[in-house]
Amino acid sequence: MSAVAILMGLALLTMVVAPLRDDLAAWAWGWWLMAALAAFALGPRRPLPVLRRTMAPAVLCLLVACLIDLAMGAWHREGWNTMRQDGKVLLMLPIIWALMGATSQAAGSSRLAQGHAGHIHGLNLREALGWALGLQLLVAAAVAFIWPRAWLPATSIPWATALALGMAVLAPLVLGNDEGEPAGAAWRMGLALAVAAGAVAVVLSRSRAAWVVLPWLMVLVVVFSRNRLHASLGALGVAAALLGAGLWYDSQQPVQVERGVRLLDLLQELASAGQPDAGTSVGSRLLLWQAAWESLWAGPWAGIGLAERVALVQRVVPPEQLSGVAPLVHVHQQFLNQAVDHGLAGLAASLLCAAAPWALAWRAQGSVMRWQFIGIGVVHTVGLMFNANMTHGTYAMHYALSLGAVLLMHGHVLRKGPHG
């Protein structure tokens, strides 16, 4: 077995166990990087024109975002941390390029090998990635059952949103099928069970921003259904039943924040949103967003920098106001967070980074691949609107890995085009 295959096997293994520790996603990313360097060194490389056309808009978005972050970080003397993990997402795309070049050269020119252009020494990347992400969701469900929300291996919101990204990658594979892709019953059933386990883990995390993946799954069911009217009615019925069950369960718990799923808390906080309270989840966010908005327009061109932003947050929501929560250091929204730090330029950088999956969806080859990228875009964008997820390294790694996983899963199409 080649060094590339061994390193990719290690990458897949660390992806599976990533929900157990907040640094394992970085290990997975590191193994992918080493595998790509080995693949590049083993050459020769073949040009992949369809892959280049598919990735070009996303690479441009991420490259400009990184350049803005570096320039503004230098202005505020913040060092490399100012890249907000965007650079790791950008680097994932060359990693995919190198690995797909290795798989294309492994195929050679024989007729027998042409059907295995997605393999490295017997490693089927599409199936291996599918099972790795699926097992990751099963591990996450076990973690969420055993550990309370406060004991999760990483901050609960980016942890749960990262899982939702994996669900967005797998769900279209369960429901749709592009020409030339395997669609066995065992494959679909296994991934469907994994997505269900991921849904359980996301709900048990009680991180409500990540719950966008649940209505998104219902949208996918309608999109891929032959009878969309019946599917829509069924999805609405399921949504109503789940919402009612969640509210009923919360009403039976003595302390909703600790034992419920926080739906009842959310309704109560929204009802008092006109008078924001720094001691509640919704209220503290409203206060922080208002302060961030005012700070942006007080210094729209350069922002106030990271250190001043942390001081601003802790003035608005003092640590003692949210008992049991670590002192807040961001404004609970990615876009406003970078706007406060780096002004309108920082806001532009965060928007460009969020645009990457949408740019990949625009150039996607095939409906399954397109809906995978759209799902990543939906989960990622909503997650950034309610938390500063990209300040968490574990989330940034999962975001990069989810984009890369979709590209590797469809490598057989991206080498030659959908009809090549």
Q: Is residue 315 in some structural domain?
A: yes
Per-residue model confidence (pLDDT) at position 111: 39
For residues 94 and 100, give the distance between their C-alpha atoms in angstroms, rounded to a whole number: 10
Least confident of 202-216, 218-232, 304-318: 304-318
- Mean pLDDT, residues 225-251 taken together: 81
CA distances from 29 to 1, 88, 129, 395 (A): 21, 9, 14, 12
Q: What are phi and psi of 321, to 5 degrees?
A: -75, -30
Q: Is residue 219 in some structural domain?
A: no
Those residues whose C-beta lies under 8 Å from the C-beta of residue 59, and which sit 6 or more positions away, are 90, 93
Q: Is the dihedral of CA 279, 208, 401, 20 positive or negative?
A: positive
pLDDT-above-90 percentage for the chain: 21
Q: What are phi and psi of 225, to 5 degrees?
A: -85, 150
Per-residue model confidence (pLDDT) at position 77: 82
Per-residue model confidence (pLDDT) at position 182: 55
For residues 363 and 58, give the distance between their C-alpha atoms in angstroms, rounded to a whole number: 10
Classify 123 as helix, strand or coil: strand
For residues 419 and 91, give the distance between their C-alpha atoms in angstroms, rounded to a whole number: 29
- Highest-scoring range by mean pLDDT, 195-199, 210-214, 248-252, 341-345: 195-199
Q: What is the domain count for the chain?
A: 1
Summarize pLDDT for 365-404 with one digit per residue, the tens. 888 899 999 999 999 999 998 888 888 888 888 999 999 9
Q: Kindly indicate the confidence band of residue 135, based on its pLDDT and cuts at 50, 70 and 90.
A: very high
Q: Is residue 244 in some structural domain?
A: no
185 exposure class (CB count in 10 Å sphere: 0-12, 13-18, 19+): exposed
Q: What is this structure's pTM?
A: 0.88
Q: Is residue 30 in some structural domain?
A: yes
Q: Is residue 297 in some structural domain?
A: yes
- Mean pLDDT, residues 10-39 taken together: 89
Cα 365–Cα 366–Cα 369 angle in degrees, nearest 5: 85
Domain, as residue range, for 375 = 3-204+273-416
Per-residue model confidence (pLDDT) at position 376: 95
Q: Is residue 87 in some structural domain?
A: yes
Per-residue model confidence (pLDDT) at position 112: 38
Q: Is residue 224 in some structural domain?
A: no
Summarize pLDDT for 42-74 with one digit per residue, the tens. 765 565 677 778 888 999 999 999 898 888 888
Q: Is residue 227 in some structural domain?
A: no
